[in-house]
Chain A
Amino acid sequence: MRRRSSSWRPTRTVRRRRGVGRWLLPLVAAAACGEGPAAEPDAGAQPDAPARTAPEIRSLYVALDDHASSLLDLTHGSRSRVLPQPVAATFRVFAADAETATDALEVTLVDADGAPPPGQQATLRNGIWEVGTEVGPGSSWRVRVRDADGDEVIGPHELALPSHQEAISGIWKLRSYGTDQAIASAWTATWTSSGTWLEDRPTAEGGPIGGDFDLADGELTLRRTWGEEDTNPDTIELTTRTVYYLDDTYFDTGPYARTGTGTGLAGTWTRSRQVAAAGAAARAISETLELDAEAFTDPERPEITWAGSWQETRVETETGGSDVTTTRSGRYRLVSAQDYNASLGNFLHRETTQLDGAPLETPLTDFEVQVVRLDRLLLSPRVR
């Protein structure tokens, strides 16, 4: 039984098969010819000869097998995604050609130089081409469709996957908060893709601070420059090995490496770093932080809801000296700093109740660990 009928009106009558573009809305629209993004490649064709035309890419999405199983729309614009490591990608392509049957089209990916990735596989399913391959940071990809005559079209929009260095670049509005949660100060940190950083906040030395950094293969080397003439390599104040997020949250202040899998904050986090101030002996610090989740407090923002207990063991090795081990423990909760704009500003409000096994007469509260939801930023600039 027919339940429903609907009528459409074509926007115009088109007598050629080319130049067909958008699918009209509302839901059902037919004879939607013209106004599409595809070129008119047969404009100069001979009147008596059938025009040779390139295929069209009418709809294009890419599914990334990243931690959130992203689906990116490349039909109407280029898309970018920060990836900590390579992931499987499936480009879903609705391609059509006037002369070549869909199953005879050649659908491939090409990088910025026009080269295909190794090992890509293309299959036709439900009328759409699916091209699978692995993509990683520091690359960009477009779809190329070639018909039986060799005519081809390359999609105008790309999937751009910035390198780690590019991902950290940007201008970040940062704030510090007092223990009463009031905003204590605000400043701007500028990190550039050429590897320099600058923070315009006042410091004990006065004026802004800055330097250069290098970020490759998970190794962040941060160098603070003590003036324009400073070329002393000993001024490298922090070299740290970072492992990017393993779930949806990570620490940024002296990046912690998460060991094992899990959700939220609970679990064991470790970090190791070397600290070398100008003229001082180098020190190596290894820290392990264990967090136990006990309650949600406000799951409307799941990233700020964890509360529980923590214990930290810190082993500090003086150059040429002995190890000094310190243990601290206490309670923690996450406090939203509400800095949605930069996705920075959720703090681990940490209260120290015991030091080396002895209860503190007055618990210490600090905000020294900042928690950052995954955004396009891999690492917060606040690494010191």
Chain B
Amino acid sequence: MSLRPHRLVAAPVTLLALTLGACGDGAAGSDAGIADAAPPDACAPALTLANLRVVENPANVLSYFVEWSTSTPATTELQVDCGPDFQLSFTGDGETDEHRVFVMGLLEGATCQLTATSAAACAASETTSIEVADLPTYVPGFHVETGGGPIESGWTILNLNGLQANAPFLVVIVDEQGRVRWYHRRDTDHPSGSTDVRVLPEGVLIAGSPQVAAALVDWTGAIVWEADIDAHHELLPIGSDQYLYLLTHFECPDGYSSDSVIKWDQATKTQLWEWRICDHYTPPVFKNDWAHVNTIELFPGGDAMLLSPRDQDNLMKVDMTTGDLEWVLGQNGDFTLAAGDHFLRQHAPEILPSGNILLFDNGLAGVRESSRAIEIAYDATAKTAAVVWEYEPTPTLFTPIWGDVDRLANGNTLVTFGSNDPAVRSRLIEVEPSGTESWTLIFDLGWGVYRSERIAVPEGAHAQ
């Protein structure tokens, strides 16, 4: 099955007739007028509902601020009806006379009815309608193909790397049909690059482009906090408002730049701890950025971290208490690996509940020009390791510099093939354990992606 995101004709928000129902006297003001008032027989105390205001979010045309007032504190409800694709309601469980709702996840071009009602004994309501604008032209479209197998529920968040000059720095969320439901344009003129995005309870964490301040933004697009920490590739939350991130380090005795891992406290904006790879590992060949670490992953318990020095084609386990490099897995490592199990220029390793390591094996130009997802089982005592699961699309895809892989709750695996070739489409492929592709998100040409993540549909947004 093939579905395309639809793009409807742009239209401004139109405030239609407001309906003041129930016991109101119809005197309440509104920007858009007042319609009939029909109080029921048993209407006490008199309650009016007025001033329904619907305002497009200045930062995101797919979301709206909705507010209204009641003459006395009351419990109210907002119903949003955008047709069969989007219907939901929000019910307040406390009494107030000013009511505000932020609605997100609307579809571009949709026409929606919004009805504010009171759950008080004397019911009142106002209704208005909006026509959601088209997405900005800088937001690309997507195409979805499905294979009929199970698909992990939820939406997908990803950063977008425009391959054209001066592309905006974008983070988007798409639904199961590939329709954009949320987007954020970062306040920068730098490209997105190797930017990590993830959803936290407080909002969306966006970090990893060292020229751009790391930031947490809320769903309205407002910045919750920002920090110029020069983090590259990874900003990993570890709890208590603390993070681990990667920083390029210039002061190593070898004279070349390489990476540090920084433990950082966001609240105080201070560094708590630093670990330099050049103090613990000597590469076979020196060059600037000889390690190019692109991932930090914590082992269970949080006392050790897994690092992914891409340009060494290996993984490293580091004891975070002693700072010792416990082992190296991959090229020039401590483990025995079959020739076909070696990985090249890898990205985004994650430690599975089984203890195995799942990673995106990019491949390397001139050596193996195809990318794949692999799961590696290893024995840290015997120092043996082997690939126990692998997915490589047919025909093969070669995305040499970006990529991600996540094991999903339903056992499927979401593989991110981020293309830096303007002639090759980037793809996100959800694949079953058998290797069957159940869901594929295909990008417009000219757009890459560094990482993606399947997320729960945000509360209050539409769930299919």
Q: Which A residues form the contact surface with B (CB < 8 A)?
A: 1-10, 12-15, 17, 20, 23-33, 58-61, 66-73, 75-77, 79, 81, 92-94, 96, 101-103, 125-128, 175, 177, 181-183, 186, 247-248, 263-264, 296, 298-302, 335-341, 343, 373-375
Contacts and interface: CB of A to CB of B under 8 A. Distances in A.
A296 B420 contact: yes
B88 A17 contact: no
A165 to B, nearest CB: 20
A61 B202 CA distance: 21
Contact of B164 (A92, A263, A298): A263
Contact of A27 (B58, B89, B255, B458): B458
Contact of A67 (B100, B166, B248): B166
Q: Pick from A3, A264, A337 the residue with the most CB of B within 10 Å.
A: A3
Contacts of B286: 182
A5 B223 contact: no
A29 B102 contact: yes
Contact of B65 (A12, A23, A263): A23
Interface string B35-62: 0000000000000000001111111010
A74 to B, nearest CB: 10
B460 A175 contact: no
Contacts of B101: 8, 28-30
A338 B401 contact: no
A94 B58 contact: yes
Given A2-B88, A13-B73, A300-B402, A28 B94 contact: no
Given A33-B98, A67-B189, A77-B223, A7 B53 contact: no
A181 B255 CA distance: 9
Interface stretch (B213-221, B266-274, B406-414): B213-221
A100 B419 CA distance: 52
Contacts of A7: 90-93
B210 A31 contact: no
Nearest to A79: B187
Contacts of A93: 58
A302 B460 CA distance: 38
B277 to A, nearest CB: 13
A92 B220 CA distance: 14
A10 B92 contact: yes
Given A6-B460, A126-B61, A341-B248, 18 more contacts: A1-B84, A7-B92, A8-B90, A13-B94, A13-B97, A25-B219, A27-B102, A29-B101, A29-B102, A66-B189, A68-B167, A68-B189, A126-B55, A183-B257, A248-B166, A296-B420, A299-B420, A302-B191
Nearest to B98: A33
B392 interface: no
A26 B188 contact: no
Given A25-B219, A127-B54, A247 B287 contact: no
Contacts of A175: 250
B96 A73 contact: no
9 contacts: A9-B94, A25-B218, A26-B459, A75-B222, A96-B67, A127-B55, A177-B288, A300-B420, A302-B191
A149 to B, nearest CB: 15
A369 B76 CA distance: 66
B104 to A, nearest CB: 5
Contacts of B103: 27-28
A71 B222 CA distance: 11
Contacts, number: 252
Q: Which 6 residue pairs of A and B lie closest in terms of their CB atoms, listed nearest first?
A: A28-B460, A68-B189, A127-B55, A92-B58, A126-B56, A340-B210
Contacts of B6: none
Nearest to A81: B189
Nearest to B131: A126
Interface in B61-85: 61, 64-65, 67, 69, 73, 76, 78-79, 84
Interface in B260-298: 286-289
Contacts of B221: 61, 73
B58 A301 contact: no
Interface in B104-125: 104-105
B94 A10 contact: yes
Contact of A14 (B65, B93, B97, B104): B97
Nearest to A3: B87
B211 interface: yes
Interface residues of B, number: 91
B194 A73 contact: no
Contact of B187 (A30, A71, A299): A71
B133 interface: yes
B265 to A, nearest CB: 20
B331 to A, nearest CB: 19
Contacts of B84: 1
Nearest to B104: A27
A264 B169 CA distance: 17
A327 B315 CA distance: 48
A71 B221 CA distance: 11
Interface in B443-464: 458-464
Nearest to B69: A17
B349 interface: no
A70 B96 CA distance: 38
Contacts of B211: 340, 343, 373, 375
A336 B133 contact: no
A255 B58 CA distance: 39
Contacts of B248: 338-341
Nearest to A261: B165
B193 interface: yes
Given A14-B97, A340-B211, A340-B232, A300 B104 contact: no
A67 B451 CA distance: 25
Contacts of A27: 102-105, 219, 458-461
A96 to B, nearest CB: 7
Given A26-B219, A70-B187, A248-B166, A338 B257 contact: yes
A2 B222 CA distance: 30
A338 B187 contact: no
A337 B288 contact: yes
B389 interface: no
A183 B253 CA distance: 10
Contacts of B100: 20, 23-24, 29-33
A102 B91 contact: no
B88 to A, nearest CB: 5
Interface in B202-258: 202-203, 210-211, 218-223, 230, 232, 248, 250, 254-257
A357 B67 CA distance: 74
A30 B88 contact: no
B90 A58 contact: no
A33 B96 contact: yes
A126 to B, nearest CB: 4
Contacts of A3: 87-88, 462-464
A343 B194 CA distance: 16
